Structure 1
Amino acid sequence: MDGCTLYSIGELARRTGLTVKTIRFYSDRGIVTPADRTPAGYRRYGPDAVARLALVRTLRELGLSLDVIRRVTNQELTLAQVAAEHAAALNVQISTLRLRQAVLTAAARRDPTFEEMERMQQLATLSEAERRRLIGEFLDVVSDGHHAVSGRAAVRRSMTPELPDSPTQEQVEAWVELAELALDPGFRDAMRSLVDDHLADRSDGDSTPPRPDVVAVAREYVEAAVRSGINPDSPQADPVIATLTAECALAVGRPDDAQLHGWLLHRLAAANNPRKDRYFDLLAVINGWPAPEPLAPLIDWSVQALSARAAR
């Protein structure tokens, strides 16, 4: 062999850390071939066999099959081609494992029944088309099917989850919980009422201004009072509530009277829905949006202050 160093299979095993049996197996499969044989028929390998076997070990540790490895070592495939294909396959496996992990993690927290566990698994493994159909049906109920009504399209967009192609475990868990909410008839009805309250009677007539988003108005005028620790039953809260009701009265073109106060109290109380807040918290996780500002303290303060003044 022109003076090249040749190694016996035992020497090759010592240099590579592989067993003689493993090297013989790779040799029989054509992955590493002997450069020569002794007169007695013993295999002898050239120096390139050391590097070749190191590559084989690396590729095996990455999970490639022996057939693919043989094609790489025989230069039928490039490492780049194999790496790209294998990475794509691993992405699918990782996604599947992430889904399983999310379901099991959620199940460990909930201690579900078998039926609940089965439903969680089904929701986690829905295709993108199936997810869209589920949410579409939910939003049809929430919007009462009136897609053309002004403002409803924006509401649908603001309530639509978009699970990424490679979601995190947290996003998968959030999707499963949100989907369970979306399938709950009671939650659907409650959300439909909230959306109707938000959009209904936006104009009581051609000349009547649209009603305000009372939660947004309350946040604007009440937030400072809540941060300052003003008791909603105290006299210090009176000017805050007076400003709030005056702004709402101006926006709807009605007197700032007991009837308007009752309407405002009803709208705020209806908007204070923990399950609704949970839906939007989960939506933010799924869509990668900033966590929504917690509005319950502001609404609670406003409702308590309005109720205290109505009782006087």
Structure 2
Amino acid sequence: MRYSIGELARRTGLTVKAVRFYSDRGLVPPSGRNAAGHRRYDDAARTRLDLIRTLRELGVDLATIRRVVDGEATVADVAARHAQALEVQIRVLRVRHAVLTAVAKRGPTPEETTLMHELARLSEVERRRLVDDFLAEALGDRPDLAGIARTLTPELPGDPAPEQLEAWIELAELAQDKDFRAILRRLAEQREAGLRRDLAAEVRDAVTPALEAGIAPDSPEARAIVDGLGRDPGRLKDWLGLVNDPRRERYLRLLAVINGWAAPESLAPAFGWLAAATA
């Protein structure tokens, strides 16, 4: 069957101008001409145009398309290369989306916006270096805290979701917060001095029932709960002042998002109640 340019355009969903463009560049040569000298195209030209339109819609450049229609490259090979290129572009776009979303939510200063962008673009090695530096300063070089360091280490996947990238940006900013590092270091020192890491769990188990029962922190029942913890009141107050810093809980929540863990239980109500009970 023979088609005019107009008929070929209608059958392929392209404009006459587009068909003429591809024909003039030799991608879809006419199969002949009619008596008036007008170009005519056959079914093979229609098939080539369908392929050209599809590849163009997928973002393949004309030079590569020419190699495909000329038989110098297969569609599969071209698709594989372009899929890889798109993966890179998608990662870049995800980073940009995460930064822009975070900026829109937080309204940072120009300097903070630049920092957020830089943190989002860090390589895996650079991210690891930042985290290692944070944990080394926060926990010190102590073998007994190696397990804790591992539980505090973010592992951003190679193909992170937007919410994981957003969480990484905020966590990386927290990790560079010198005051936050100092708080973790003091908690580590208090642990060494006898306030064990599982004290938080003890507080949760002891205080949660009191919260649920509506026991006031200034009541005799509350005093009995505090005494039952068996801790020096002064040291317990110092510990609460550190562990109840909202940045600590925020770090743990961001860490859970990045690592794909379940959201941690908030102990802020229990810590707040205990702080009031020991005031």
Alpha-carbon distance between aligned partners in 1 of 2:28 and 2:78, rounded to the nearest angstrom: 18
Which residues in structure 2 correspond to 1:68-83 (within 5 Å)? 68-83=64-79
Structure 2 unaligned blocks of 5 or more: none
Aligned: 1:57 with 2:50? no
Aligned: 1:226 with 2:211? yes
Residue 190 to residue 236, structure 1, CA distance change in 2 (3 Å):
closer
Alpha-carbon distance between aligned partners in 1 of 2:229 and 2:149, rounded to the nearest angstrom: 28
Deviation at 1:212, TM superposition (A): 5.8
Alpha-carbon distance between aligned partners in 2 of 1:188 and 1:238, rounded to the nearest angstrom: 32
- 1:83-123 C-alpha deviation (Å, 9 max, x unpaired): 22222211211211121122122222333222222111111
Alpha-carbon distance between aligned partners in 1 of 2:229 and 2:136, rounded to the nearest angstrom: 33
Alpha-carbon distance between aligned partners in 2 of 1:100 and 1:178, rounded to the nearest angstrom: 17
Which residues in structure 2 correspond to 1:259-270 (within 5 Å)? 260-270=232-242
- 1:259-291 C-alpha deviation (Å, 9 max, x unpaired): x23323322332111111111111111111111
- The question of whether the paired residues in 2 share the 8 Å contact of 1:161 and 1:283 is answered with yes
Question: How many equivalent pairs are there?
Answer: 279
Deviation at 1:296, TM superposition (A): 0.8
Corresponding position of 2:4 = 8
Pick one of 113, 125, 128 that aligns with 1:117.
Answer: 113
Corresponding position of 1:169 = 162
Which residues in structure 2 correspond to 1:66-215 (within 5 Å)? 66-144=62-140, 146-147=141-142, 149-150=143-144, 152-198=145-191, 200-201=192-193, 211=196, 213-215=198-200
Corresponding position of 2:251 = 279
Residue identity (%): 53
Residue 160 to residue 168, structure 1, CA distance change in 2 (3 Å):
same
- 1:125-158 C-alpha deviation (Å, 9 max, x unpaired): 11111111111111111122x14x21x1112111
Which residues in structure 2 correspond to 1:19-34 (within 5 Å)? 19-34=15-30
2:233 corresponds to which letter in structure 1? H
Alpha-carbon distance between aligned partners in 1 of 2:68 and 2:44, rounded to the nearest angstrom: 15
Q: What is the SS of the residue equivalent to 1:31? A: coil
Q: What is the SS of the residue equivalent to 2:263? A: coil
Q: TM-score, normalised by structure 2?
A: 0.90
Aligned: 1:216 with 2:201? yes
1:175 corresponds to which letter in structure 2? W
1:291 corresponds to which letter in structure 2? A
1:241 corresponds to which letter in structure 2? V
Q: What is the SS of the residue equivalent to 2:229? A: helix
Corresponding position of 2:14 = 18
Residue 39 to residue 118, structure 1, CA distance change in 2 (3 Å):
same
Residue 215 to residue 275, structure 1, CA distance change in 2 (3 Å):
same
Deviation at 1:224, TM superposition (A): 1.8
Deviation at 1:243, TM superposition (A): 3.0
Residue 74 to residue 196, structure 1, CA distance change in 2 (3 Å):
farther
- 1:67-88 C-alpha deviation (Å, 9 max, x unpaired): 2222233343333322222222
- The question of whether the paired residues in 2 share the 8 Å contact of 1:214 and 1:264 is answered with no
Aligned: 1:289 with 2:264? no
Q: TM-score, normalised by structure 1?
A: 0.82
Alpha-carbon distance between aligned partners in 1 of 2:25 and 2:240, rounded to the nearest angstrom: 74
1:87 corresponds to which letter in structure 2? A
Corresponding position of 1:254 = none
Q: What is the SS of the residue equivalent to 2:40? A: strand
Alpha-carbon distance between aligned partners in 2 of 1:83 and 1:94, rounded to the nearest angstrom: 16
